[in-house]
Amino acid sequence: MTSPTIIETPALLQAEADRERAAGHRIALVPTMGALHEGHLSLVTAARARADRVWVSIFVNPTQFNDPDDFEHYPVDLERDLALCAAHGVDLVFTPTAAALYPEGAETWVDVERLTLPLCGATRPGHFRGVTTVVAKLFLAARPHVAVFGQKDFQQLAVIRRMAQDLGFGIEIVGAPTLREADGVAMSSRNMRLGPEARRQAVSLVRALDAAEHVIANGETGRDAVLSVVREMLGKADQARIDYAELRDPESLEPASAELRRPTLLALAVHFAPDPDGRGSEVRLIDNRVLEPWHPGA
């Protein structure tokens, strides 16, 4: 098992990218905030299938946190992350400091406008501006041919695709399927912050997605009826508080019409309170599924 090269500054990463490109090697970048799990490692596998060199960035980006407490408690274990990267054949890990990516006096931001307004953008002001700015910086530093992101963050993936196209990065943006725990809960670095009871109740998200898919498979095409089923399922988790449960067009993210007649994104975001005995902390989880309504003439 070979340890990956570790680079900490954008300038050194750019120089390495120039060498790899001059040698004819295709570079894939997997941007992460660390606390790696099997979901992240599935992105590494997807990247390996598309490139000669797989690079992972590990950086907890302060500018995408609208809640300082969330940033303060975000799990960090760089030693473990590097060991996982080595075990999965990652060639290089980029571990910049905040000062390296946001030098003193920096005042430039990258902002995708329309796609960032609904869903997470509506309840997390400034979040996507932080995401797009840091991803643009990572793209400029790593100069990858392809970048891989998880489909669990569906809106983020759409926003990054839009940014990459609008700014002409010339990077293939790949969305990899969501990896799930044995009970169906989407893998997330935040899961480890849930109390035992909240973790048990977190399965309500995937059950809500399943319930929506079930009623649609049985002919339901009414938007409000589908959302009623979703909210009823989420309401069975007494530690859950819905941030949003919405049906949207999967490309434009515009609200779905009253009658569902085409593939439709069901996007969920739910806050889970700490357990009654005080274990765990408040955690916000997201999940999604693209539903395929049937209608006559389809």
Q: What is the CATH number of domain 189-290?
A: 3.30.1300.10
What is the number of alpha carbons within 13 Å of residue 127 lying toward its C-beta? Answer: 21
Determine the pLDDT at residue 296: 56
Residue spans in the chain of domains classed CATH 3.40.50.620: 5-176
> pLDDT value at position 298?
46
295 is an active site residue: no
pLDDT at residue 60, as a whole number: 97
Would you put residue 278 in left (φ > 0), alpha (ψ -120 to 50) or beta?
left
CA distance 124 to 269: 11
Domain with CATH 3.30.1300.10 in the chain: 189-290
Query: Whole-angstrom Cα distance, residue 59 to residue 79?
Result: 13
Measured on CA atoms in the order 239, 243, 247, 251, is the torsion positive or negative? Answer: negative
Residues in a beta bridge with 146: 28, 172
- Beta-strand pair 92-94/5-7: parallel
Mean pLDDT estimate for the chain: 96
What is the pTM for the complete model shown?
0.95
CATH topology of domain 5-176: Rossmann fold (3.40.50)
Count of all residues that appear for the chain in the document:
298
- pLDDT beneath 70, residues of the chain: 295-298
* Residue of 25, 40, 145, 295 marked catalytic: 40
pLDDT at 67: 85
